[in-house]
Structure formats: C-alpha cells, structure tokens
Amino acid sequence: MEQHRSHIYGVMAEFDTPEQLIHAVEKTRAAGYRRMDAYTPFPVEGLAHAMGLKRNMVPFITLLGGLFGGLGGFGFQWWANVVSYPENIGGRPLNSWPAFIPVTFELTILGASLCAVFGMLALNRLPQPHHPVFNLKRFVHATSDRFYVCIEARDPKFHIVETARFLQGLHPHHVSEVTDD
C-alpha cells in the first residue's frame, strides 16, 4: 500500500465553470477531505472561503516591511546628518526633520512593497519549477478556461478508487490520476 501511494500524488477533477468548482469544493470538504487544492485560471470569488482559507500573513509582513523602511529611513538620515557627518548647510538645523520626510516616506513604501511581493512569493513557495500537477497533460487548461480540484494522496481519507468515485459523483468534465513523477 505504501509502495503504491508513493507515485500517486492525488486525484484531480476538472470542471467547466467556477460555480461548479465551488460546489465541488464544498462537497469535498463536507465529505471530510482536507488535503486538497483547487486550481483556477483567475481568482474565483468565494473559493477561498469554500476551501476554508483564513487570513494570510502577507499584510502583516508588509506592515513590518513598511515600519522597517520608515523607521530605518528616518533613523539613517538622522544618524548620517547628526552623528556621523554633522555639517552646517545653509544654516539649517542638523536634524532637519521636515527635509527628511520625503525620503522616509519613499523608503516606507519601498520596504512595504518589497515585503509584500517577496513575502507572497516565499509563502507560496515560488519559484517552484516543477510540481506533480503539471504531469497531467490536461492541466494546461488550468491557466486558460478550466477549473480543477485535486484531492491529495496524503489525505488520511484518500483511497485511490473511492476518492475517484467520489469525485466522479460531482459530475466533473473529467477525473484523472496525478502521478508523483
């Protein structure tokens, strides 16, 4: 049994419309499956909710990046002009705080944006050139006009025949096995 599972990644069902997919995902979760994923060509409203996804960490990481950029930016300018290289320029105070605001602002935005994008990629484990779902020939439609749900083999309830039959019962376009390599 263990031997058999090692090269099955999961069972994938293909649907024509986002509504069918949401319905299928709800049914799948109701049947007790948890290790699963859905694949869509665009973000489908309500799908994340159906999958039971809660908040993600991206906003928090972004906030940290913004705080780091802003405080670091102001702190650095203050340090450079007041501590490291104090110089009287045009009679302005060493701590010319109004003049430090623009750079502080820019660095806040820069820090937050970099953290938003790279935080998102890191949490998504991207770049990831290979993934078992790509083994499925039909999966090219996942970036065009088809909607997929995949129940993964590591789900405790997974059984290759039962799960496939269960998915068949949701009236998909197609059900296929996804192999690991």
Partner 1 sequence: MAVQEYPAPESISRLQTRAFGVGAIALLLAIYGAVHSPQTFFASYLMSFLLFLGLALGSLGLVMLQHLTSGHWGIIIRRPLESATRTLPLLAVAFLPIAIFGMRYLYAGHGDDKGWLNAPASGEGALSAFQKNYLTHNGYLIRAVIYFAVWLALMFIFNVLSKQQDINRTDRALRQRFKILAGPGIILYVFAMSFAAIDWVMSISPHWASTIYGFIFVGAQLISSLSLMIAVVVLLARSEPFSGILQPRHLHDLGKLLLAFVMLWAYFDFSQLLIVWSGNQPEEISFYRTRLYGEWGVVAVIVVVFHFFVPFFLLLSQDLKRRAQILSKIAVWLIVMRLVDLFWMTRPEFTSSAVPSWLDLVLPIALGGLWLGFFAFNLKQCPLLPLGDPKLEEAIEQHHE
Partner 2 sequence: MSASQPPIDSPEIRRLTPVLGPGHTFGSVTDKISSIVLTRPTSFGWYIGFALSFGFTALMTIAIGWLFTKGVGIWGINIPIGWGFAIVNFVWWIGIGHAGTLISAILFLLNQKWRTSINRFAEAMTLFAVACAGIFPLIHTGRPWMAYYMFPYPSTMGLWPQFRSPLIWDVFAVSTYGTVSLLFWFVGLIPDLATLRDHATTKSKQLIYGMLAMGWRGSVRHWHRYQSAYLLLAGLATPLVLSVHSVISFDFAVGIVPGWHTTIFPPYFVAGAIYSGFAMVLSIAIPLRKAYGLEDFITMRHLDNMAKVMLATGLIVAYGYFFEFFLSLYSGNKFDVFLVQQRLHGPYSHFYYALILCNIVLPQSLWSYRLRHNVVFLFLMSLVVNTGMWLERFVIVVISLTRDFTPSAWGRYQPTFWDWATFTGTIGFFVMLLFLFVRVLPAISIAEMRELVAETSEEEK
Which residues form the interface with partner 1 (CB under 8 A)? 98-99, 101-102
Which span (4-12, 74-82, 156-164, 170-178) binds partner 2, by CB under 8 A?
74-82
CA angle 106, 108, 111 (to 5 degrees): 105
List the one residue out of 102, 114, 109, 116 whose CA is nearest residue 74.
102
List the one residue out of 152, 142, 137 whose CA is nearest residue 8.
152
| 171 dihedral zone (left: phi>0; alpha: psi -120 to 50; beta) | left
129 binds partner 2 per the rule CB under 8 A: yes
In the chain, the N- to C-terminal Cα span, in Å, equals 18
Closer to partner 1 by Cβ: residue 101 or 117? 101
Binding site for partner 2 (CB under 8 A): 18, 37-44, 47-48, 51, 53, 56-59, 62, 66, 76-77, 80-81, 84-85, 89-90, 92, 96, 99-100, 102-103, 105-107, 109-110, 112-114, 116-117, 119-121, 123-124, 126-131, 133-134, 139-145
